[in-house]
């Protein structure tokens, strides 16, 4: 087994994927089984499952699983596998829909063999996959091996009546349960044959409890308990003491509640699924002089795609001809169409306006911005908030307590105190129902998942419930200046010559060197040179010096172009005349750069640019402060005088200037020590270290920016600053709804328990209270789907 690289835990993750067919109504039960199987074993750091996509994740110690043992895991789970660089994929295709307990099979093998050696299993039933990420030693890229394995144990399959959609079967069973239970109840009063009555109740119990029974059996196989088991036991207990009608009512309300929950939670899932539905299945591709229609999966990089007026873009690409206004609301959340012309980027799922565009494919169908958004939101929904983790741990222990207490409530009064068996048993069955924590457990995910789905629809991507929860607590925000508070598109404002060179010559030399740089200030200089139709000479030996400037050779001159720090560190004295002019420019809010020839040891001139404050920045900061943000900070690598001007106009409370990337990290750490949780807002590229350091990293302009999506905790898909108050408001509203649900669920449990023992609450009323509270907290959480700032 190769040594692990010396890096932080969690950075070295391999992936295993398994494909299964979909059985929708079993999703949540199976992910619960998967989660409960892994939870509680030494070395397991985190277990999450997602109600909306059926995803489950578990984090383990990264040092105990070799590549060979990883294959053993897959073998014993009963699938085919291929292992390649940092990735294992297992696929099993079936002609019939398979039971989702295959997730439990995989988890069980992991539990028994590798208690602390895997990482991040995910069962995503919407995409028909089970994915397990584990911290095995990373294969080197030179190995790039592919290993095929045959499997020992085929996954279990559950057959269903052919021709009946599985998702409708549970609804049909619930209706049959209600009809047969009601008929049996009425028939008893009308004096029907007892055998017929028993038969009707048998059908009612079978249809009302079938799915719960399956889930209970699987849970018991994994040595766990679930709420389904408590309900089944209570119903059977009612029948055992001669109260079959009450047991049938319990099963009807329980199955009806589950059906309603499935329908309600499905709305969060569909909010994400609809995004992918926006992408056309086919594209019109130019092949020489011919146009042909191809499935988007067959498109390759560089293909030319024609998009006519009113059509949706089928793929991400770069415009090569034509001009049009494009509605990008599905990706960026922008309310107004954006003009697109040659060299502009367009995204799959957005809508073309009135002009025809030809685009060159820049991403494959599986890698489009839209596909990455959906994948990221699904991953986010599988990452639990801390409140939800706490409740999951509580649920297992509480379920055991409820069952033990029910046994004691039967035998202690009956055998120990001499009470009659039937009322004692009846009271214990009522306890099983009213004490079950259904509403409590579902209260958090219903809210968190709805908030994440709403954010995604509006161009705000939270990378998980934990980040949503932490965003709600923020009191301090730090902003990068360039491209965040300012437009990020500075303009050339001044050229000063202190040599024999004309101003145009200085601009031509500087632009030749800055054309090699990606900095926004460099781009402003190059654009100004192009506007003057200069032909730029070649440059060599280019080198960017972070936080200072650039250097290189142009026309036999070795030039240094940068700020004051560049020359102070090299102990090069700046002439008073040059320094004074730079001082004046900076006092006017311009960024001055010195142009120095190391070949002749002279300052050739000054060149200045200015970046305007964004129009919506002032209102955004006012909105943040009104919403409860206590301190707003601006961080920039610009000089203090320019920073002071921008900070004053923007209305920030504090600013730090002349910062290198590592200096921004230091400032953030200082803010964290002083204020607690701090968010950093940046562009996600040059601010990557700062975004990673902050408690919450918020990247702007994530559409098309891989680094933004990978680095930040929250991604704003557009450059709209108004999305920041929206994100904070949504997170706070989600926290408010979660606490509403928790308080309500706990109150109902307490009231029902007190009523069961104090007022002899009948079992049917206990069921109504229990299931009704569960449905109500789900519906309350779904209100977040329509939240607006």
pLDDT at 426: 79
Domain limit, last residue, from 98, 116, 149? 149
Q: Residue 377: its pLDDT value, please? A: 61
Residue 371 scores a pLDDT above 50: yes
Query: Cα–Cα distance between 232 and 433 in angstroms, integer?
Result: 10
Please determine, for residue 222, whether its predicted confidence score (pLDDT) is greater than 80.
no
Determine the average pLDDT of the residues in 757-762.
Answer: 75
Strands 351-352 and 491-497, bridge-based pairing:
unpaired
Cα(601)–Cα(337) distance, rounded to whole angstroms? Answer: 52
Highest-confidence range of 52-66, 138-152, 269-283, by mean pLDDT? 269-283
What strands, in cross-sheet order, belong to the sheet with 591-597? Answer: 491-497, 602-610, 591-597, 557-562, 549-554, 539-545
CA-nearest of 120, 136, 115, 117 to 40 is: 115
Count of C-beta atoms within a 10 Å radius of residue 332: 24
CA dist 497 and 595 (Å) reads 9
Interval 662-683 mean pLDDT: 88
- Greater model confidence, 115 or 522: 522
Pairing of strands 14-19, 654-656: unpaired
- Which DSSP string do the residues of 546-601 spell out, in sequence order? TTTEEEEEETTEEEEEE-HHHHHTTTPPPPHHHHHHHHHHHHTT-EEEEEEETTTT
CA proximity to 469, closest of 733, 276, 241, 111: 733
Q: What is the DSSP string of 436-487?
A: --HHHHHHHHHHHHHHHHHHHHTTEEES-HHHHHHHTT--EEEEEIIIIIB-
pLDDT at 73 over 50: no
695 shares a domain with 745: no
Tokens of 520: 């926004």
Phi, psi dihedrals of residue 354, rounded to the nearest 5°: -95, -10
Look at residues 242, 227, 208 and name the one whose alpha carbon lies nearest to residue 32. Answer: 227
Please check whether residues 110 and 174 belong to one and the same domain.
Answer: no
Residue 316 bears catalytic tag: no
**Bridge partners of residue 495, in order along the sequence:** 607
Say if CB 537 and CB 549 are below 8 A apart: no
The answer for 740, left when phi > 0, alpha when psi is -120 to 50, beta otherwise, is alpha
Strands (E), 619-740: 631-635, 654-656, 678-682, 696-700, 714-716
Determine contact, residues 89/17, Cβ cutoff 8 Å.
yes
Strand pairing of 602-610 and 491-497? antiparallel
Q: How many CA atoms lie within 13 A of 375 on its CB side?
A: 12
452 versus 117: which is more confidently predicted?
A: 452
Query: Quick check: 212 pLDDT over 70?
Result: yes
Q: Is residue 624 part of a domain?
A: yes
**Are 703 and 750 contained in the same domain?**
no
State the average pLDDT over residues 206-231.
75
Q: Are residues 92 and 140 in the same domain?
A: yes
Residues 187 and 204 in one domain: yes
Query: Per the domain annotation, does 281 fall within a domain?
Result: no
Least confident of 21-30, 144-153, 296-305, 687-696: 144-153
Q: What pLDDT is stored for residue 27 in this prediction? A: 39
The residue whose two tokens read 């795609």 is: 305
Distance CA 57, CA 49 (A): 6
Contact criterion met (CB below 8 Å) for 47 and 122? no
Is 404 a member of any domain?
A: yes
- Indicate if the pLDDT at residue 383 is higher than 70: no
Mean pLDDT for the stretch of residues 107-125? 41
Domain-located, residue 717 = yes
Task: Supply 100's token pair.
Answer: 């989702």
Helix, strand, coil % over all residues of the chain, rounded to 5: 50, 20, 30
Tell me which of 371 and 266 has the higher pLDDT: 371
**Is residue 669, in this structure, part of any structural domain at all?**
yes
Report the pLDDT value the prediction gives residue 744, as an integer from 0 to 100.
Answer: 92
Q: Does 414 map to a domain? A: yes
Q: What is the layout of strands, in order, in the sheet containing 351-352? A: 338-340, 324-327, 351-352
Q: What is the CATH number of the domain that holds 357?
A: 2.70.150.10
- Residue 292 burial class via C-beta count within 10 angstroms: exposed 0-12, middle 13-18, buried 19 and up: exposed
**Res. 358: pLDDT tops 90:** yes
Say which range, 127-131, 249-253, 716-720, has the weakest mean pLDDT.
127-131
Indicate the residue among 694, 712, 728 that finishes a domain: 728
* Residues counted in the chain: 789
**720 in a domain, yes or no?**
yes
> Quick one: pLDDT at residue 645?
86
Are both 25 and 130 inside the same structural domain?
yes
Please write the tens of the pLDDT for every residue from 78-97.
222 222 222 222 222 222 23
Confidence at residue 486, expressed as pLDDT on a 0 to 100 scale: 84
Q: Is the pLDDT of residue 765 over 60?
A: yes
pLDDT in tens, 577-594: 999 999 888 888 788 999
Domain tally, the chain: 5
- Is residue 29 predicted with pLDDT exceeding 80? no
User: What is the percentage of the chain residues whose pLDDT exceeds 70?
Assistant: 69
Give the mean pLDDT of 348-377: 84
Please indicate, yes or no, whether residues 324 and 239 belong to a single structural domain of this protein: no
In terms of pLDDT, which residue wins out, 277 or 462?
Answer: 462
Tell me if 776 sits within 8 A of 744, measured CB to CB. yes
CATH code, domain carrying 526: 3.40.1110.10
At residue 123 the predicted structure's pLDDT band, cuts being 50, 70 and 90, is: very low
Identify whether residues 738 and 593 lie together within a single domain.
Answer: no
How far, in Å, are 661, 675, 676, 684 from residue 689 at the CA level? 7, 20, 19, 9
Residue closest to 685 by CA, chosen among 467, 548, 518: 518
Residue the block writes with tokens 């030693």: 137
Which of 480, 611, 683, 719 is the catalytic position?
A: 480
Calculate mean pLDDT across residues 503-516. Answer: 91
**pLDDT on residue 274:** 63
Strands 345-346 and 317-321: antiparallel
pLDDT score, position 270: 60
Take residue 470 and report the two structure tokens written for it.
């932490």
pLDDT at 760 over 60: yes
Q: Are 353 and 307 in contact (CB under 8 A)?
A: no
Q: Do 264 and 779 form a contact (C-beta atoms < 8 A)?
A: yes
Cα–Cα dist 68/113, whole Å: 13
- Cα–Cα distance, 36 to 396 (Å, whole number): 8
DSSP character string of 277-324: HTS-SEEEEEETTEEEEEEGGG--TT-EEEE-TTPBP-S-EEEEE--E
Average pLDDT of span 34-43 = 41
Q: Are residues 112 and 187 in the same domain?
A: no
Residues 521 and 660 reside in one and the same domain: no
Answer yes or no: do 225 and 359 share one domain: no
Confidence of residue 606 (pLDDT cuts 50, 70, 90): very high
Domain that holds residue 334: 291-367
β 46-49/56-59 pair status: antiparallel
Residue 588 confidence (pLDDT)? 80
Q: Are residues 743 and 603 in the same domain?
A: no
Domain-terminating residue out of 367, 400, 432? 367
User: Is residue 157 situated within a structural domain?
Assistant: no
Q: What average pLDDT is seen over the chain?
A: 73
Confidence (pLDDT) at 390: 66
**Does residue 398 or residue 386 have the better pLDDT?**
398
**Distance (Å, rounded) from C-alpha 23 to C-alpha 742?**
30
Q: Which strands make up the sheet holding 631-635, listed edge to edge?
A: 460-462, 714-716, 696-700, 678-682, 476-480, 631-635, 654-656
Q: What is the predicted pLDDT for the residue at 731?
A: 94
pLDDT of 146 strictly over 50? no
């Amino acid at each position: 087994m190769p040594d692990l690289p010396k890096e932080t835990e969690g950075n070295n993750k391999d992936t295993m994927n398994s494909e299964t067919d979909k059985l929708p109504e079993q999703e949540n039960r199976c992910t619960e089984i998967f989660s409960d199987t892994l939870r509680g074993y030494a070395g397991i750091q985190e277990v999450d499952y997602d109600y909306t996509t059926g995803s489950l994740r578990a984090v383990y110690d990264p040092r105990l699983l070799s590549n060979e043992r990883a294959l053993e895991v897959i073998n014993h789970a009963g699938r085919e596998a291929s292992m390649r660089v940092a990735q294992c994929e297992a696929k099993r295709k079936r002609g019939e829909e398979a039971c989702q307990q295959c997730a439990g099979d995989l988890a069980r093998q992991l539990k028994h063999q590798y208690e602390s050696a895997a990482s991040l299993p995910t069962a995503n039933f919407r995409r028909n996959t089970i994915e397990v990420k584990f911290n095995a030693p990373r294969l080197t890229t030179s190995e790039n091996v592919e290993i095929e394995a045959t499997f020992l144990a085929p996954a279990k399959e559950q057959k269903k009546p052919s021709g009946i959609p599985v998702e409708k079967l549970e609804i049909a069973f619930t209706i049959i349960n209600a009809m047969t239970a009601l008929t049996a109840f009425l028939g008893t009063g009308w004096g029907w044959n007892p055998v017929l009555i028993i038969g009707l109740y048998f059908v009612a119990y079978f249809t009302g409890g079938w799915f719960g029974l399956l889930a209970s059996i699987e849970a018991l196989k994994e040595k766990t308990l679930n709420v389904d088991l408590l309900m089944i036991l209570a119903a059977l207990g009612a029948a055992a003491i001669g109260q079959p009608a009450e047991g049938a009512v319990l099963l009807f309300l329980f199955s009806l509640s589950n059906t309603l929950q499935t329908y309600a939670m499905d709305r969060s899932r569909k909010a994400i699924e609809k995004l992918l539905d926006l992408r056309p299945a086919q594209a019109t591709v130019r092949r020489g002089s011919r146009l042909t229609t191809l499935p988007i999966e067959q498109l390759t990089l560089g293909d030319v795609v024609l998009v006519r007026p009113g059509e949706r873009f089928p793929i991400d690409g770069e415009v090569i001809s034509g001009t049009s206004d494009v509605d990008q609301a599905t990706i960026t959340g922008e309310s107004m169409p954006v003009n697109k012309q040659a060299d502009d980027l367009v995204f799959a799922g957005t809508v073309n306006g009135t002009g025809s565009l030809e685009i060159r494919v820049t991403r494959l169908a599986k890698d489009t911005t839209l596909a990455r958004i959906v994948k990221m939101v699904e991953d986010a929904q599988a990452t639990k908030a801390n409140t939800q983790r706490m409740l999951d741990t509580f649920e297992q222990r509480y379920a055991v307590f409820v069952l033990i207490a029910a046994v004691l409530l039967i035998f202690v009064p009956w055998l120990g105190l001499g009470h009659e068996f039937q009322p004692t048993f009846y009271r214990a069955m009522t306890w099983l129902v009213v004490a079950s924590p259904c509403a409590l457990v579902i209260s958090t995910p219903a809210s968190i998942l709805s908030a994440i789905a709403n954010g995604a629809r509006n161009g705000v991507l939270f990378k998980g419930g934990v980040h949503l929860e932490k965003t709600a607590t923020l009191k301090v925000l730090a902003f990068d200046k360039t491209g965040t508070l300012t437009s990020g598109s500075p303009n050339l404002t001044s050229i000063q010559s202190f040599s024999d060179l004309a101003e145009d010559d200085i601009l031509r030399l500087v632009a030749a060197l800055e054309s090699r740089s990606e900095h926004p200030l460099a781009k402003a200089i190059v654009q100004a040179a192009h506007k003057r139709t200069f032909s730029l000479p070649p440059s060599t030996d280019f080198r960017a010096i972070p936080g200072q400037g650039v250097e290189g050779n142009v026309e036999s001159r070795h030039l240094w172009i940068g700020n004051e720090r560049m020359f102070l560190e090299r102990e090069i004295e700046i002439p008073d005349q040059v320094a004074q002019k730079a001082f004046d420019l900076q006092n006017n809010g311009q960024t001055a750069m010195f142009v120095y020839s190391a070949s002749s040891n002279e300052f050739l001139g000054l060149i200045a640019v200015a970046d305007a404050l964004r129009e919506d920045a002032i209102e955004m900061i006012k909105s943040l402060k009104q919403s409860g943000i206590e301190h707003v900070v601006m961080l920039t690598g610009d000089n203090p005088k320019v920073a002071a001007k921008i900070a004053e106009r923007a209305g920030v409370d504090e600013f730090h200037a002349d910062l290198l990337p590592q200096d921004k990290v230091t400032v953030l750490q200082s803010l964290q020590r002083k204020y607690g949780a701090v968010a950093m807002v940046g562009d996600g590229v040059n601010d990557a270290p700062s975004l990673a350091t902050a408690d919450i990293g918020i990247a702007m302009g994530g559409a098309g920016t891989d680094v933004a999506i990978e680095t930040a905790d929250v991604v704003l898909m557009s450059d709209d600053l108004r999305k920041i108050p929206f994100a904070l408001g949504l997170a706070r509203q989600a926290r408010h709804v979660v606490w509403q649900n928790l308080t309500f669920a706990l109150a109902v449990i307490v009231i029902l328990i007190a009523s069961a023992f104090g007022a002899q609450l009948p079992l049917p009323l206990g069921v109504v209270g229990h299931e009704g509270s569960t449905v109500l907290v789900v519906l309350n959480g779904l209100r977040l789907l329509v939240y607006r700032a």
